[in-house]
Structure 1
Amino acid sequence: MQKYFRKLQTHSGKILAAFLIVFFSFLAYNLYQAPVSGFENKFMFLLKEYGYIILFAWGMLEGEAGLIMAGLLSHTGDMTLYIAIFVAGLGGFAGDQVYFYIGRFNKAYVYKKFRGQRRKFALAHLLLKKHGWPIIFMQRYMYGMRTIIPISIGITRYSAKMFAFINLISAWCWATITILPVWYFGEEILVVLHWAKEHWYFALPFALVFGGSIIYYFNKASKKKEKEL
């Protein structure tokens, strides 16, 4: 059994890739077959029909957009709030565990595949050495480092059990602080979304500026951290 489990860990990257291919193929087929007309209606039907499955996979990819959607569906009653938080956190946990084991059992592949990311790997090692376990807890909020940090920790001799424990708590906290406010302010958010849909020509430039500002801020913060270290 232990030998079989180790084999799964070794091929964790291939398993994740296969899972995502099957998952997106499943979504595409069911989106096409949805018994409603219009892409928006088909997408909403898919979310209501397979919401928790989609949320788990979205959590693995650590996409906040999926969690925001889960918060809105929880507000409208199409999802149960606590189950949504549990499933999203479990997905985030599973995704980072895969990345951790890619680093732990595929070091040669990592060094070859991520050759252009050496500076980020060096930064991740420095952060772990300087701050310890809080980096595992905080890495979900570090733009541009979400994949690098779990992989780089896997390369080190850091305890797999300790990583898994901190990763699980971090994932559920991440899911809670993303989904809960959206659920609570759901009515206001739905009003804004409805307005944006009706007045997309005003909303689109604002969304681009807002999104660009966030990316610029995190890029600047990441570069500043590199210089400090």
Structure 2
Amino acid sequence: MLQKRITRFLRSYFLFIIAGVLIVGLFAYSYYSDFSFEEFITNLWENHLEDWGYLILFVWSLIEGELGLVFAGLAVHDGKMHFIPTIIIAGTAASIADQFYFYIGRFNRRGIQDKLSSQRRKFALASRLLQKYGWSIIFIQRFLYGMRTILPMSIGATRYSAIKFCIINLISSWIWASIAVGLTWYFGTEIFGIIDWFADNPFILIGIAVCFILGGWWLFHTQTQKKERK
């Protein structure tokens, strides 16, 4: 019985365990060896960002959202990247990702409904929002955290024009990128000051990272318990 519980725990929280081990291991290795994580990041930032920054931003924006834009905004503030190309590349990549989800909904409606049965409430909400607000919900969907995947797939499952969705979503993605990059660029000095403070106090950063991991574990655990009760 105990072995089964341990196995179930390891399977359920595998990603959180791996993340915690990697973070602690990285800082421990940096502390007890000649390797300096700070120098490694500084070298990448100063010597390679201008060559690979836009490509990294494009790939990152295909997968993730605001965090990549924060780093891009800091790079713009530091003169490593330019404002307009950064916005266009990040917004375009994010729009491509949304279009991909749109076509998943368009060509595999039954499949996603079966595989994402736990998300039926969000699909129903997305359909109601589209019927009530029309194109405006497409425009603001990039700002609705937690609905960025469901909304494009839900809209794709309807007969809504793919061309209209592409145009509206692309404009929205550019505006979303300009806001995130612009704010980070404007407050860049303050953000760099916070980063320098954490660099001087690495153990506080480790503590915060551990708290985030534990918080993510707790959220995942509570959501899993709710689904099991249903």
| Same fold at TM > 0.5 | yes
Name the aligned partner's letter for residue 117 of structure 1: Q
**Higher mean C-alpha displacement, 54-63 vs 188-197:** 54-63
The residue number in structure 2 matching 1:103 is 105
Deviations 1:131-152 (A, max 9, x none): 2211111112222111000000
The residue number in structure 2 matching 1:190 is 192
State the distance in 2 between where 1:164 and 1:112 align.
26
**Higher mean C-alpha displacement, 53-62 vs 120-129:** 53-62
The residue number in structure 2 matching 1:172 is 174
The residue number in structure 2 matching 1:52 is 54
The residue number in structure 2 matching 1:155 is 157
SS at match of 2:80: coil
Distance 1:154 1:69, change over 3 A: same
User: Structure 1 regions of 5+ residues with no counterpart?
Assistant: 1-35, 217-229
User: Structure 2 regions of 5+ residues with no counterpart?
Assistant: 1-34, 220-230
**Higher mean C-alpha displacement, 138-147 vs 90-99:** 138-147
SS at match of 2:159: coil
**Higher mean C-alpha displacement, 36-45 vs 83-92:** 36-45
Name the aligned partner's letter for residue 161 of structure 1: I
The residue number in structure 1 matching 2:136 is 134
The residue number in structure 2 matching 1:221 is none
State the distance in 2 between where 1:43 and 1:109 align.
42
State the distance in 2 between where 1:99 and 1:149 align.
9
The residue number in structure 1 matching 2:41 is 40
**Higher mean C-alpha displacement, 144-153 vs 129-138:** 129-138
State the distance in 2 between where 1:138 and 1:191 align.
32
State the distance in 1 between where 2:126 and 2:60 align.
24
State the distance in 1 between where 2:194 and 2:42 align.
19
| Coordinate RMSD, CA, aligned | 2.6
Q: Give % identity.
A: 49
Alignment of 1:15-26 (within 5 A): none
Distance 1:102 1:43, change over 3 A: farther
The residue number in structure 1 matching 2:121 is 119
Task: Give, in angstroms, the shift of residue 58 of structure 1.
Answer: 1.7
Name the aligned partner's letter for residue 80 of structure 2: D
Task: Give, in angstroms, the shift of residue 42 of structure 1.
Answer: 5.9
- Give the TM-score normalised by the residue count of structure 1: 0.69
Rg comparison, structure with higher value? 2
Task: Give, in angstroms, the shift of residue 62 of structure 1.
Answer: 3.9
Aligned residues: 178
Name the aligned partner's letter for residue 55 of structure 2: I
SS at match of 1:156: coil
Task: Give, in angstroms, the shift of residue 61 of structure 1.
Answer: 2.2
The residue number in structure 1 matching 2:93 is 91
The residue number in structure 2 matching 1:81 is 83
